[in-house]
């Protein structure tokens, strides 16, 4: 019996050690699985932050480029104060092209967050000797001026090949 008892104790001890080793391996495997998952998440987070830094660097360099255009963009549209002076300048452009001009500002649409202020206007013009060429030159002068003008309608009456009168309706844009 002694041998049997010794054999049972030995087998029990070996099985106990195997059981302890298996439990330890399972716990370690579970823990290493969690650690691997945490490492994977950390790598993903680092990758996201790295991409964010790259994009931030690109944005910063682009903002420096954009800053150089800021003054141009700011001067692209006139201010409300300059709008008052535009009447005199548009009349002078018309006179340069042999046209008598009466300019009347009408309704104003205030500027919104992403849209400029629009002021409707009526240009009443006439000329005794200008003809079609003077109208074309006047419109080209407006187009080349510092003013952003949109003409919506044109009504011209020619009395003969040189004399005309009419109205131009449109809008002038400002900040």
Query: 20-63, pLDDT tens digit by residue?
Result: 999 888 887 777 778 888 889 999 999 999 999 999 989 888 88
User: Shortest CA distance to 91 belongs to which of 162, 145, 161?
Assistant: 145
- State the maximum Cα–Cα separation within the chain, in Å, rounded to a whole number: 140
Which pLDDT score, from 0 to 100, does residue 152 have? 92
Which pLDDT score, from 0 to 100, does residue 30 have? 78
Q: Can you tell me which residue has the tokens 């046209």?
A: 99
Separation CA 173–CA 152 (nearest Å): 13
User: Shortest CA distance to 148 belongs to which of 124, 170, 125?
Assistant: 170
Q: What is the pLDDT of residues 107-140, one digit of tens each?
A: 888 877 777 888 999 999 988 787 888 888 999 9
Which pLDDT score, from 0 to 100, does residue 117 have? 85
By 3-state DSSP, what share of the chain in percent is helix, strand and coil, each rounded to 5? 60, 25, 15
Which pLDDT score, from 0 to 100, does residue 73 have? 63
Which pLDDT score, from 0 to 100, does residue 170 have? 93
Q: E strands of 110-147, at which residues?
A: 117-127
């Amino acid at each position: 019996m002694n041998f049997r008892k010794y054999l049972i104790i030995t087998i029990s001890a070996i099985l106990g050690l195997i059981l302890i080793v298996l439990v330890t391996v399972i716990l370690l495997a579970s823990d290493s699985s969690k650690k691997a998952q945490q490492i994977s998440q950390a790598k993903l987070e680092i990758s996201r932050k790295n991409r964010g830094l790259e994009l931030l660097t690109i944005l910063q360099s682009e903002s420096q480029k954009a800053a150089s255009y800021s003054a141009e963009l700011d001067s692209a549209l006139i201010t409300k104060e300059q709008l008052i002076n535009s009447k005199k300048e548009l009349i002078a452009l018309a006179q340069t092209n042999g046209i008598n001009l009466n300019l009347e500002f009408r309704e104003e649409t205030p500027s919104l967050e992403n849209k400029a202020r629009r002021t409707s206007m009526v240009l009443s013009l006439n000329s005794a000797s200008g003809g079609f060429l003077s109208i074309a030159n006047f419109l080209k002068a407006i187009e080349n001026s510092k003013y952003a003008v949109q003409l919506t309608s044109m009504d011209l009456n020619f009395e003969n090949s040189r004399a005309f009168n009419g109205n131009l309706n449109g809008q002038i844009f400002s900040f």
